[in-house]
Amino acid sequence: MSYQVLARKWRPKSFETLVGQDHVVRALTNALEQNRLHHAYLFTGTRGVGKTTLARILAKSLNCEAGITASPCGVCTTCMEIDKGRFIDLIEVDAASNTQVDAMRDLLDSAQYAPTAGRFKVYIIDEVHMLSKSAFNAMLKTLEEPPAHVKFILATTDPQKVPVTVLSRCLQFNLRQMAGTSIIGHLQNILGQENIPYEPTALHLIARAAAGSMRDALSLTDQAIAYGGQTVNEAEVRAMLGAIDQSYLYQLLNALLVNDGASLIAQAKIMEERSLSFEAALNDLAQLLHQVAMAQTVPDSVADDLPEREALLNLAQKIQPETLQLYYQIALLGRRDIGLAPDEFAGFTMSLLRMLAFTPNAAGVQNDTSAQKAPVRQASALLANALKPQNVAPLPEEPLVLAQKNITQQPTEYAASDDSTPENTEVTEASTENSVENNTAKTNVSKQFNGNWRGLLDELKLGLVRTLAQHCELISYDENNISLSVPESQKHLLLPNYQEKLGSAISQHFDKKIKLQFSVGGTGNTPAKQISEEKAHAQASAESAIEDDSFVQALISDFGASIIPNSIKPI
């Protein structure tokens, strides 16, 4: 017997085995069980998400010898012939090959006759958007009022090209792209039953390359099995897909963080020697930066079984969020413009050098720059002191008179000594400083921390740092210090940049330096826990109010109504 590819061998034959389209399966199942059948269905979605498979399962459900059911038996003659593609009353038409009006008229003429063997005559028209305008017009009347024994199932990857007159006559279902986790789980199940060893990371790579298409994922798996000799390994899959080894990307980012331009170019040359695609490298670099950003913002979103979990969390602590966003934007622009570069190597290395040039506060550059600018700062300070006005700033009402007064007083003030400071200037500056100190003291008095940590957070604009702040419990505080504790389960939030930004926001709020001290442990009575408990209490109260409502009880007892779980929301 000839080999059958995985995409055909493991094509779902019932709604229960279909993966990733629960919203469509639920609607069709309820319609079949309640016998609320429409005469025309339209399935839309990208390639390989199950449009034709759903159409065939629906045809089996309509014509199964056991009756109209959401669970066709799969063993009767009708079900077996539909699975083998030779059921006489299931007509599959490829609209891409039959675009003209004559083919549509012949199809519709045959629809007038009763089915030969089945309960319904089912027409599956694939890629229906390819029909001509005349063909669409020819099918409108039949599509709106077909004979009782006819069901139309249309499928398309481009619903925008289907006339609205056709859309309005169909029950439309939009099939979603497959999630990566759904693809990986399905591949694990298939490879397990096929007794083919695999590495989880290899399946991650295949799911990413499939881009939401289960058929593409199965085709790539077939190719990986052939390439790897009855095994699916990470190294072979990377070589097959031309994917970039993640170790290269991590080394590039680490070289950027330490301002090591030589290592950047060396890594790029190694990648060139291995004939790796630099366009794919920029794409993978952008994906890695996105994962790092997610790890910074929501560390719990990083899957525990992800092979690169530790490396991602490590990078999330090292890279400043603003630097990360800069790298991501440069990677996207570099990938867009790589076709305009003299060659791919030049485009890739220029993107890396651009990241290096715009990296803020690089360690080596910062030290050199500060050393070079020290004399400049000293000279600027001396020049500012020499040019500092010697009297109080003039009032706007009399700029001319006060300016003349300063000019005439200057020789008198400096007559005693060129190096001495004028006496009236000292008084003015001293009085100004006293005034500033008094104002600052008044401000500090009006803004004193009263121990209400949750109330303080409501007054601050924290952005991403709010996650850390809401998981902190106040331990103690005084005029210049605040001690906070973070639960053991949230200690990953104690990133240095988060702590620094939270301290800066609090110091700015109180107009004085407030030192924050963090520890791990405590009782866990954090604002986040308090908010969670309040929401849970409100939800419980809402559910209790609905369940105890006399009108709801009457509906349940008189009409057999039921309360849908998770549909109750507190007001």
Q: Judging by beta carbons within 10 Å of its beta carbon (0-12, 13-18, 19+), is residue 239 exposed, middle or buried?
A: middle
Owner of token pair 């079900």: 79
Q: Give the pLDDT score at 454.
A: 87
Q: Give the pLDDT score at 305.
A: 62
Element (DSSP H or E) covering residue 4: none
Rounded distance between C-alpha atoms, residue 444 and residue 25, angstroms = 63
Rounded distance between C-alpha atoms, residue 397 and residue 357, angstroms = 49
- pLDDT tens string, the chain, 571 residues long: the values are 578 888 888 899 999 888 888 899 999 999 999 989 999 999 999 989 999 999 999 999 999 998 899 999 889 999 999 988 889 999 888 887 777 788 788 888 888 888 888 899 999 999 899 888 888 888 888 888 888 999 999 999 999 999 999 999 999 999 998 888 889 999 999 999 999 999 888 898 898 888 889 999 999 999 999 988 889 988 888 888 876 667 788 889 988 888 888 888 998 998 888 877 888 889 889 988 998 998 888 887 777 666 677 778 888 888 888 889 999 999 999 999 998 999 999 999 999 999 988 876 544 333 444 444 444 344 344 334 443 444 444 444 444 333 333 433 444 343 333 444 444 444 444 444 454 444 444 444 447 888 888 888 888 887 778 888 888 999 888 888 999 999 988 888 888 888 888 888 888 888 888 888 899 888 888 998 888 888 888 888 888 888 888 888 888 888 878 888 677 888 7
What's the pLDDT tens digit per position in 457-479? 888 887 778 888 888 999 888 88
Cβ–Cβ under 8 Å, residues 462 and 508: no
What the block records as the tokens of 22 is 């629960």
- Which DSSP category does 464 fall into? G
- Residue among 77, 82, 162, 156 at smallest CA distance from 122: 82
Q: Give the pLDDT score at 97.
A: 77
Q: Judging by beta carbons within 10 Å of its beta carbon (0-12, 13-18, 19+), is residue 154 exposed, middle or buried?
A: buried
Q: What 3-state class would DSSP assign to 123?
A: strand
Q: Who contacts 227 (Cβ-Cβ below 8 Å, separation ≥6)?
A: 236, 237, 239, 240
Q: What residues are paired with 121 via a beta bridge?
A: 150
C-alpha distance across the termini of the chain, in Å = 64
Domains and CATH numbers, the chain: 6-174 (3.40.50.300), 180-241 (1.10.8.60), 256-358 (1.20.272.10), 453-525 (3.30.300.150)
Element (DSSP H or E) covering residue 171: strand 171-174
Rounded distance between C-alpha atoms, residue 502 and residue 68, angstroms = 63
What the block records as the tokens of 400 is 């001319």
Helix, strand, coil share of the chain (percent; to 5): 60, 10, 30
Owner of token pair 């990307």: 249
Cβ–Cβ under 8 Å, residues 486 and 440: no
What the block records as the tokens of 97 is 């090959």
Owner of token pair 């080894």: 245
